[in-house]
Structure 1
Amino acid sequence: MADEPAVRRTLNEAAARQLANATKTRAQWSGITPRWLVSFLPWTPVEAGIYRLNRVKEDQGDISAEVECSPRRDQDPDLPETFVDYEEAPREYSLNAVTTVLDVQTRVSDLYSHPYDQIQEQLRLLIEKVKEKQENELVNNKEYGLLPNAQAGQRIKTRTGAPTPDDLDELITKVWKEPSFFLAHPRAIAAFGRECTRRGVPPPTVTLFGTPFLTWRGLPLVPSDKLEVDAKGKSNILLLRTGEKKQGVIGLFQPGVPGEVQPSLSVRFMGINRKAIASYLISLYCSSAILTHDALAVLEGVEVGKYHDYPDKYV
């Protein structure tokens, strides 16, 4: 009887993998956004968490009409008597706290912190969540958010539904004194781009912070998903003038808070309880102020389209 050929065996791949080290990534979170609003806003430091906004009374008529040129030398001077009155009860902004507490079982942090420190990774991700909440508050907070605090006279409705060049031009008439940038949901910017292309006037781009932005009349359209799209596929577009010198919109923060790791952001160890759980308090203090009413305008009810069954179609 002929000898049977020997069976050639090789190391099983699944078994071999048990001796191999896998290269691991940090935890990836798709909820992290560029948070451009925070980058584009100028930030003013405050003391004791309070910012008092002093304004001139708006019902004083035309003050400039009461200021006259100097008379000729052969005429007796008749100086006009006038003054600029201030609001007697100016608004005060108190910094808002965005906070969360991190709880970590010490067994987990002791045994499973290589190659990535578990506490540092948890802090990194929670700080990102706190910063996302910060931008959301800057847009939507009822006390100081941009959208709720825009004046009624600074709000306009879109003419045709989809955002058009005419709509953005109308916004510019509301914030015509050195406007800085538009703020809109990415889908609203895409809808505006489609309208421009349809009209044969595709908007140019500009590179800021190393990133290209669409522009209109030289003003960048800054994307933020914190300007929500409702169930009907509608959103809002803002136009801002920024900076104290321009009497625009500013962000407020307080430097030097205890446990500060970034401006106005602190991380403080709160101790370990009897169940061996270590706790850390993460706090971010911020607010914003609209220095004059004409520093902000809102285009309301723009239709950005609902996604159709086909990925490249909108209705």
Structure 2
Amino acid sequence: MPEGYDTIDALSARSAYQLADVVKTVPQYGTITPRWLARFLELKPVDTGIFRLNRVKEPDRLLDVLCAQQNSDDIPEGFIDYEQTPREYILSSVSTIVKIGTRVSDLYSKPYDQIKEQIRLGMESLKEKQEYLIINSDDYGLLKNTAPAQRVASRTGSPTPDDLDELISRVWKEPSFFLAHPAAIAAFSRECTRRGVPPLAVNLYGGNFLSWRGIPLVPCDKLLVDGQSNTHGKNGRTNILLIRSGEARQGVIGLYQSGLQGEQSNGLSVRFMGIDNKGIGFYLLSIYCSAAILTDDAIAVLENVETGHYYDYK
């Protein structure tokens, strides 16, 4: 120590920390997904909460009746009948109440507003549930409502190019996209690579997707593997969908309630319910949704495919 200087301890890091600024993030919600389905699937607003799907009665037989060839000059006569008991879809609702103390929101809302963050996270949860229901609902879910003739069994267990070609043969009128768990897409990619036909990549809606026959393979963890969304690399069984989207193409459409009070996005509303005598504020978050398969050949499903392991092929 130089002469004339007092011996003192250096400033500790712990003490210095008290004067340092801390850079923060908003709460990171690990289970949030891109929810590509909402971007690839055409959405239709419903004003009354009910959607009626009118279909032609016996469409195959009508072609024979109305367009029959005859050798005489007589013109075939008839009419196009409709199903007399069409299916009606009543929008389902998913709701939750977010509670926030006024003391917390008053004192601890910088740099991030506590109310906005709580509502944001609540809305993300509802949107994840909406995507799950569109695929898995016992009432209107795409898996439960695919026609028996549109269900395909995998030839080998692992999803192969032959399997996806079979789906295309069932949804051959302008198919829009495949929908599969990421583990199933990885298994398909490995099978393609093993056969020497690696799938090409396409860019849509700002994302990169593998494709087959020009049709994107869209990842979605709501197509569960052995009943779970996160497989942690384990082998399991799942399903792959091929969908034609759009009302004009007689495809699959998503449904939502329009014109809601406090509407934040399609079918999603936030309403302030008031503050109780303990200073707790209540916010009601609700989402109204459903989905409809307009014609049977708008969707097909490859059932019980194996996701496999990354080390299956050597």
TM-score (norm: length of structure 2) = 0.92
In structure 2, the residue matched to 1:258 is: 261
Contact 2:268 2:287 in 1 (8 A): yes
Is 1:273 matched up with 2:271?
A: no
* Secondary structure in structure 1 of the residue aligned to 2:272: strand
In structure 2, the residue matched to 1:29 is: 29
Deviations 1:252-281 (A, max 9, x none): 112211111222211000111122211000
Once the two structures are overlaid, the 10-residue window that deviates more, 77-86 or 113-122, is 77-86
Once the 2 structures are TM-superposed, how far is the Cα of residue 313 of structure 1 from its aligned partner?
3.0
Matches within 5 A, 1:37-186: 37-58=37-58, 61-64=61-64, 66-67=66-67, 77-186=73-182
Work out which of the two has the higher radius of gyration on C-alpha atoms and give 1 or 2.
Answer: 1
TM-score (norm: length of structure 1) = 0.91
1:241 to 236, 241, 244: 244
Name the amino acid aligned to 1:42. E
Name the amino acid aligned to 1:266. S
Deviations 1:126-153 (A, max 9, x none): 1011100010011101111111111111
- Tell me the number of residue pairs that the alignment of Structure 1 and Structure 2 aligns: 304
Name the amino acid aligned to 1:273. D
Name the amino acid aligned to 1:211. G
Contact 1:233 1:305 in 2 (8 A): yes
Once the 2 structures are TM-superposed, how far is the Cα of residue 67 of structure 1 from its aligned partner?
2.2
Identity between Structure 1 and Structure 2 (%): 58
Distance in 1 (alpha carbons) for counterparts of 2:300 and 2:185: 17
Deviations 1:179-222 (A, max 9, x none): 11100000000000000000000000100012110000110000
Identify if the C-alpha distance between structure 1 residues 157 and 69 changes in structure 2 by more than 3 Å, giving closer, same or farther.
closer
Distance in 1 (alpha carbons) for counterparts of 2:188 and 2:297: 23
Contact 1:57 1:86 in 2 (8 A): yes
In structure 1, the residue matched to 2:298 is: 295
In structure 2, the residue matched to 1:222 is: 218
Distance in 1 (alpha carbons) for counterparts of 2:107 and 2:241: 49
**Any stretches of 5+ residues in structure 2 without a counterpart?**
228-234
Distance in 1 (alpha carbons) for counterparts of 2:255 and 2:312: 39
* Secondary structure in structure 2 of the residue aligned to 1:147: helix
Identify if the C-alpha distance between structure 1 residues 162 and 60 changes in structure 2 by more than 3 Å, giving closer, same or farther.
closer
Contact 1:256 1:263 in 2 (8 A): no
Distance in 2 (alpha carbons) for counterparts of 1:34 and 1:173: 29
Once the 2 structures are TM-superposed, how far is the Cα of residue 68 of structure 1 from its aligned partner?
5.4
* Secondary structure in structure 2 of the residue aligned to 1:63: helix
* Secondary structure in structure 2 of the residue aligned to 1:123: helix
* Secondary structure in structure 2 of the residue aligned to 1:169: helix
* Secondary structure in structure 2 of the residue aligned to 1:285: strand
In structure 2, the residue matched to 1:213 is: 209
Once the two structures are overlaid, the 10-residue window that deviates more, 240-249 or 253-262, is 253-262
Distance in 1 (alpha carbons) for counterparts of 2:204 and 2:125: 24
Distance in 1 (alpha carbons) for counterparts of 2:15 and 2:311: 48
Distance in 1 (alpha carbons) for counterparts of 2:85 and 2:98: 40
Distance in 1 (alpha carbons) for counterparts of 2:45 and 2:262: 17
Is 1:189 matched up with 2:192?
A: no
Once the 2 structures are TM-superposed, how far is the Cα of residue 60 of structure 1 from its aligned partner?
5.9
In structure 1, the residue matched to 2:311 is: 313
Contact 2:62 2:80 in 1 (8 A): no
Distance in 1 (alpha carbons) for counterparts of 2:4 and 2:52: 95
Distance in 2 (alpha carbons) for counterparts of 1:248 and 1:4: 88
Contact 1:268 1:282 in 2 (8 A): yes
